[in-house]
Amino acid sequence: MKLASRIKCLVYFLYSYAIFLAISGIVLVIFGGYILYNHLGYGLLVEGGAWGPSAATLCLGLVTICVTWMGWHAVAKRNQCRLYLFGMSLLGIILISVFLCIWSLTIRKEMQGSAITPVENSFNDFLADTATINDHTHLWNRLQSEMQCCGVHGITDYIRTSIPWSCCRRPDNPSDPRCVSSYQRGCLFALTEETRQRLIYISVASLIFALVQIMGIFMVVHLVVLLKEQERGDIESRISSRNTELLPFNAQTGTPTRNPSAPTATTKSNQVNLHESLHADLKKAQAQRLSSS
């Protein structure tokens, strides 16, 4: 395959990769925002920075969209400096994704111990003032209803008071007000398991996202190598054409000259002009590359 065809094919692959990368960034924004929204609903119960990985996932998606825009323009202009910057940005995304994966797994490991104290304190405040409706009342009613749990460690936490409606299983008939049965598992276990499961999702998603960037870096490096090879071939072809133009007429037509081993003054001056012209062309190409970057 010719060099120009290889470059054109690789450019199309990079365009497809940029579209896929933009879609992945949008998915990360939605995914991180959804997990962050659900986590902040129980922010009084879960402490220790467990919301950090979800917020970092959202920010990583926004950064990915910006990097995709930069990479699209770099591929469109085939600018080597911008392609280098695009490749370095993809490498930075890989490092951030790996760090996010390790961070999520570390928080998940410490999740059980760090959630006990805030959950118990919030539950004690909920039991201490059951006559009025406050933030803890709404929080625990929503928690017990959504996660189908009751109390901190189980239904026995309500042994000294009446069981709230949020601990009751919903009957088959929605109009039936009776509490047929109650949830048995504690909300501490349900909340920590739900949060740990979300952290697993973040760690897996960030690891897969990091692996995808490796393919992008490979294509960017390959395109830069091909562009350098094309630039070197263009310079060599210009030098060859200039040398052919500056040969004596007799040397081009094959007619023998009187003394072919002794170059004339005109040939020497033409060679000097050739070198000066090539030097000027190289400076002009470098100036155009810098101005375009």
* Residue 89 and residue 201 share a domain: yes
- 26 inside domain: yes
Q: What is the pLDDT of residues 162-175, one digit of tens each?
A: 788 888 876 555 55
> In the structure encoding, which two tokens stand for residue 281, read together?
């062309």
> In the structure encoding, which two tokens stand for residue 128, read together?
């201490």
CB-CB contact of 48 with 107 (8 Å): yes
* Residue 131 and residue 101 share a domain: no
List Cβ<8 Å contacts ≥24 apart for 122-126. Answer: 122/44, 122/45, 123/151, 123/152, 123/157
- 277 inside domain: no
- Site of tokens 């090539």: 278
* Residue 227 and residue 83 share a domain: yes
Alpha carbons within 13 A on the beta-carbon side of 98 = 10
> In the structure encoding, which two tokens stand for residue 95, read together?
């490092």
- Percent of the chain whose predicted confidence (pLDDT) is above 90: 27
- In this prediction, residue 63 carries a pLDDT of 94
* Residue 46 and residue 136 share a domain: no
- 282 inside domain: no
- 290 inside domain: no
Domains in the chain: how many in total? 2
Domain carrying residue 124: 117-189
* Residue 129 and residue 23 share a domain: no
- In this prediction, residue 278 carries a pLDDT of 62
Q: What is the pLDDT of residues 206-235, one digit of tens each?
A: 999 999 899 999 999 988 888 888 878 777
* Residue 124 and residue 78 share a domain: no
* Residue 172 and residue 54 share a domain: no
Domain boundary among 128, 160, 189: 189
